[in-house]
Structure 1
Amino acid sequence: MSNKKTVVLGASIKPNRYSFMAITQLVEKGHSVIAIGQNVGEVAGINIRTKSIPLANIHTVTLYLNPTRQRDYYNYIIETKPKRVIFNPGTENPEFYQLLKANGIKVDVACTLVLLSTNQY
């Protein structure tokens, strides 16, 4: 299995949140995880950062932010140059899809949890 270095944007320390579940499953499946959220904390041994840090060699950014909150991260994500961005349910954003595609970044409108559980991640 290959390690797909993943940024979880919109990470939460609340166990009922999908971002929490995604971090947990990504770690269980051996992927490197960088978690960025509103509040510091820890999920599955991963520290949640509240500031955007320079990133390199990122395979996937998985979004858990609504389209309005995503705007603050457009440039950050594009400059990170991930291979793909996953738009989880509720994060769909056609405006951002166009920007990503224009920068050669794959857009995946999918659910990270489903991709992981069906080994399609």
Structure 2
Amino acid sequence: MKNVTLVIGASINPNRYSNIAIKRLVDKEIKVAALGLRKGTVLVVVIDDEKKAYTNIDTVTLYLNPKRQEQYYNYIIGLKPRRVIFNPGTENMEFVKLLNENNIESEIACTLVLLSTNQY
């Protein structure tokens, strides 16, 4: 069963939204995987610095600007998530189009708002 959220652009910096999102996902008892530029840990979540071949990703939530996303297009599509969330500042219509062509939902939203309003 696909039930893991992958945070891409994860950071150990507690002031970064990706870090706050990891903490809120864990608080909501949602399984989390994280990928960032540097290894680290946020609560119980290990941040990987290499793309792994996950097989159980339901949602990818992006914390990368559109230019930095380009190197992740094929990787994310290959994970076959149910949906990709584009958080504020990550909106990327080129990638949205690619996701739609691969039958992957895209959502331009804020993970933190979705979690706080029980719409996640």
Q: TM bucket by the smaller chain?
A: over 0.9
Distance 1:52 1:13 in 2: 17
CA contact (8 A) 2:3 2:56 kept: no
Unpaired runs of 5+ in structure 1? none
Per-residue CA deviation, residues 44-78 of structure 1 (Å, 9 max, x unaligned), is 11110000000112110000000011000000000
Question: How far 1:20 moved relative to its partner?
Answer: 0.2
CA contact (8 A) 2:39 2:48 kept: yes
Unaligned runs of 5+ in 2: none
User: What is the aligned partner in structure 2 of residue 32 from structure 1?
Assistant: 31
Runs of 4 or more above 2 Å deviation: none
Q: Which stretch of structure 1 is more off in the superposition, 21-30 or 3-12?
A: 3-12
Q: Report what 1:13 is aligned to.
A: 12
Say which SS state the counterpart of residue 90 (structure 2) adopts.
coil
What SS class does the counterpart of residue 108 from structure 1 fall into? strand
Root-mean-square deviation (CA, aligned residues, Å) is 0.9
CA offsets, 1:16-48, max 9 Å, x none? 100000000001101110000001110011110
TM-score (norm 1): 0.96
Amino acid in structure 2 at the alignment position of 1:11: A
**So what's the TM-score if we normalise by structure 2?**
0.97
- What is the aligned residue count? 119
Amino-acid identity (%): 59
Letter in structure 1 aligned against 2:73: Y
